[in-house]
């Protein structure tokens, strides 16, 4: 394919637009929560892996935390186990926990590592069990003001960030499955958005990026306008007013905790857009919703 001089200059302009961002974020850590349709659509999978590999090659340190809800739901269906969600969290009995651990660690995690490898990325898969990376305890969720038992769902107590820092320094792209372990060696399923926020906090990341199946945060479900920037105060108000509900709640709660702990910014990005990570990080306009202090 031949390009005109004008088209070639246009390509150079794109690189120049990215230059100040490459300089600004060189050596910084970006935590990416990988989920939604970007984990299902084959073309989007490839585009995300290309983005992550490019980040590593230009001097940014990506850390990937993946979900796996669709894979877990499909496996549970095959085993004849029904799924139930409360406040966006999967109710996880012992049987469901076994399936979740099998799927997240044995299937989803390794598929991501393998796909990164096809792009030249040196991915290395770990779970929260490895090296006590994610230490947790049993989590309860509030329903009508009361603590509700949702099974083997974990609340993070500590992140052993040295595990990830060591992998990053050795040139790897850590790929983290959101399974934690308690002091007695019991495994717990943890919401991947929550894990990503805690890891971003522990690593003092420059950015936390949450890939979703929405354009960003809107005033209402019927609204076409996406908020480009929101403060944590505005987020709390929208939760109280019932404008942020369901699976978006753990996303924004994790985002706020990360912001309060020193992460510079959190981005809720539409993972259905090809090369969404590059568009958000390296262009003047960006996409999605950025949450700030």
> Residue 1 has what pLDDT?
65
**Is 68 within any annotated ligand binding site?**
yes
- Give the CA distances from residue 124 to residues 6, 63, 66, in Å, rounded to whole numbers and listed in that order: 41, 10, 13
14 domain residue, yes or no? no
**Is 137 within any annotated ligand binding site?**
no
168 domain residue, yes or no? yes
Residue 104 tokens read as: 């997240």
**Torsion angle, CA of 116/121/125/128, rounded to 10 degrees?**
-110
90 domain residue, yes or no? yes
> Residue 23 has what pLDDT?
93
| Alpha-carbon span 75 to 198, nearest angstrom | 27
Q: Quick check: 275 and 284 in contact, CB under 8 A? A: no
244 domain residue, yes or no? yes
**Residue segments in the chain with a per-residue pLDDT below the cut of 50:** none
72 domain residue, yes or no? yes
Q: Quick check: 249 and 241 in contact, CB under 8 A? A: no
Q: What ranges in the chain are assigned the alpha helix state H?
A: 5-25, 42-57, 69-78, 94-103, 109-118, 161-169, 192-202, 232-240, 248-260, 276-282
Q: Which of 200, 173, 42, 184 is nearest to 117 (CA)?
A: 173
Domain that includes residue 216, residue range: 27-292
Find the CATH number of the domain harbouring 57: 3.40.1160.10
pLDDT in tens, 171-226: 999 999 999 999 999 999 998 988 999 999 999 999 999 998 888 888 777 777 88
158 domain residue, yes or no? yes
121 domain residue, yes or no? yes
Q: How many domains does the chain have?
A: 1
**How many other C-beta atoms are found inside a 10 Å radius of the C-beta of residue 31?**
30
> Residue 206 has what pLDDT?
94
**Is 189 within any annotated ligand binding site?**
yes
**Is 61 within any annotated ligand binding site?**
no
Contacts of 36 (CB under 8 A, 6+ apart): 67, 211, 212, 213, 271, 272
11 domain residue, yes or no? no
Q: Specify the pTM.
A: 0.90
């Amino acid at each position: 394919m031949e390009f005109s001089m004008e088209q070639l200059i246009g390509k150079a302009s794109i690189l120049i637009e990215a230059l100040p961002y490459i300089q600004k974020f060189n050596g910084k850590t970006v935590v990416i929560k990988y989920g939604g349709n970007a984990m299902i659509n084959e073309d989007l999978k490839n585009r995300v892996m290309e983005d992550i590999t490019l980040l590593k090659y230009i001097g940014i340190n990506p850390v990937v935390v993946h979900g796996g809800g669709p894979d877990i739901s499909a496996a549970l269906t095959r085993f004849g186990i029904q799924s139930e969600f409360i406040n966006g969290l999967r109710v996880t009995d012992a049987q469901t926990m076994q399936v979740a651990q099998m799927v997240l660690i044995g299937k989803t995690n390794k598929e991501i590592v393998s796909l990164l490898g096809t792009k030249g990325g040196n991915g290395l898969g770990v779970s929260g069990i490895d090296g006590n990376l994610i230490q947790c305890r049993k989590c309860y969720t509030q329903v009508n003001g009361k603590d509700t038992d949702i099974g083997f769902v974990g609340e993070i107590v500590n992140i052993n960030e040295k595990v990830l820092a060591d992998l990053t320094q050795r040139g790897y792209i850590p790929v983290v499955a959101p399974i934690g372990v308690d002091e007695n060696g019991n495994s717990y399923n943890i919401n991947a958005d929550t894990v990503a926020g805690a890891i971003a906090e522990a690593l003092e990341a420059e950015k936390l990026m949450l890939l979703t199946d929405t354009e960003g945060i809107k005033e209402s479900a019927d609204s076409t306008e996406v908020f480009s920037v929101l403060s944590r105060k505005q987020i709390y108000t929208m939760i109280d007013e019932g404008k942020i509900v369901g699976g978006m709640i753990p996303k924004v709660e994790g985002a706020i905790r990360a912001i309060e702990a020193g992460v510079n910014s959190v981005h809720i990005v539409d993972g259905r857009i090809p090369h969404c990570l590059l568009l958000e990080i390296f262009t003047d306009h960006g996409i999605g919703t950025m949450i700030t202090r």
